[in-house]
Amino acid sequence: MIRYLARRAGHGLLMLFGVSILLFLLFQAAPGDFLSEIKVNSQISPETIAKLRLQYGLDQPLPVRYWQWVKSSAKGEFGYSFAYNTPASTLLWPRARNTLLLSVPALLISWLIAVPLGVLAAGWKGRWADRLFSGGTSALLALPDVLIALLALLIALKSGIFPVGGMTSVNVQDQGTGAWLRDLVWHMVLPVAALVIGSLALIMRHVRASVREVMESSYMRAAEGHGLPRMKLLFGYALPAAANPLISLFGLSVAVLLSVSLLIEVVMSWPGMGPLLLEAILARDLFLVIGAVMLSTVFLIVGNLLGDVLLYAFDPRIRRQT
């Protein structure tokens, strides 16, 4: 088990390494850098710009810059933000925490809803409930994420029950931890709901399809022939057998959720990685972008690693192979 996980984690590290190199190359290929914007400003002399360039190390060749970044990452700084004049890590950590605050609950809630519903829908095959399910999930899939976020904002605005965007109310810190926590959860409701709605349909459809496929197998027919109760058949026999592809989807759903989360954060002004990344890209704030993307990659790898652990726990065939 440990060895299996160590190998998987090793793959993850290799992937991080590859992603970082790719990011540096892509940035090199993209036109302009952080100083391009400043150059347009006639009040700043070319000498100042040249000095800044030297100071930021932008005059160095790519491999040197990459090496500098690796050294800085080893110190936990992940490079330097040009725009904010601080190590990238001081900006990234709180933002990453805020993003996790949205995506982890959204991930759990989506799966907790999607699995039972998907399994039931597989059992209802062909009946009206199943058609309703298919129609519902198709409609959800067709909804653009921006629209979901905007609709959530609209609801907040019209009803007045939920706060319109943001993460905390003003002055809430002064009213004690309990009030602060309640306020935070209250702010989380709409963005998390938007995330769940955005990712639910995909997961539900996959659950239904996987379980449906297993239901056609001869061992399910054999189990039915042994007179097992219907719910036992669906949840005790079909679901474990269908779990394998679903667990792989779990890792993938982390990625989907993160990308949807970036968008929803921007629209609902949640101070997560989304707005930061957008700003950094627009400003060509090299290390901040790389740091943010690398962090997303880490989340993704952790999600997949979690999937591997689950797979190991669920599938005896994989346990034997390893």
List contacts with another protein (CB under 8 A).
3, 7, 126, 217-230, 232, 236-237, 240-241, 243-244, 314-317, 320
Q: Which of 39/127 has CB closer to another protein?
A: 127
Q: How far is the CB of 228 from another protein (least distance, A)?
A: 5
Q: Which is nearer to another protein, 183 or 213 (CB)?
A: 213
**Which residue, 200 or 211, is less far from another protein as judged by CB?**
211
Name which of 247 and 254 has its Cβ closer to another protein: 247
Least separation, in Å, of the C-beta of 5 and another protein? Answer: 12
Min separation Cβ 93 and another protein, Å: 34
* Token couple for 83: 């725009």
Q: Which amino acid is at 97?
A: R
| Closest separation in Å from C-beta 17 to another protein | 20
Give the nearest distance from C-beta 12 to another protein in angstroms. Answer: 16
Sequence letter at residue 184? L
In terms of CB distance, is 7 or 51 closer to another protein?
Answer: 7
Closer to another protein at the Cβ: 101 or 214?
214
Return the number of the residue (158 or 230) whose C-beta is nearest another protein: 230
What pairing do the DSSP bridges indicate for beta strands 80-81 and 86-87? Answer: antiparallel
The pair of three-digit structure tokens given for residue 261, joined into one six-digit string: 């989360």
Q: Residue 103 carries which side chain, given as an amino acid letter? A: S
The three-point CA angle 273-179-194 to 5° equals 40
Least gap, CB of 312 to another protein (angstroms): 12
State which residue, 75 or 320, has the beta carbon closest to another protein. Answer: 320
Distance CA 240, CA 153 (A): 39
Contact by Cβ (8 Å): 314, 247: yes
131/56 Cα distance (integer angstroms): 59
Q: Which is nearer to another protein, 75 or 230 (CB)?
A: 230
CB of 298 to another protein, least distance (A): 24
Least distance to another protein, CB of residue 134, Å: 17
Min CB(316)–another protein separation in Å? 4
Tokens of 230: 């219907």
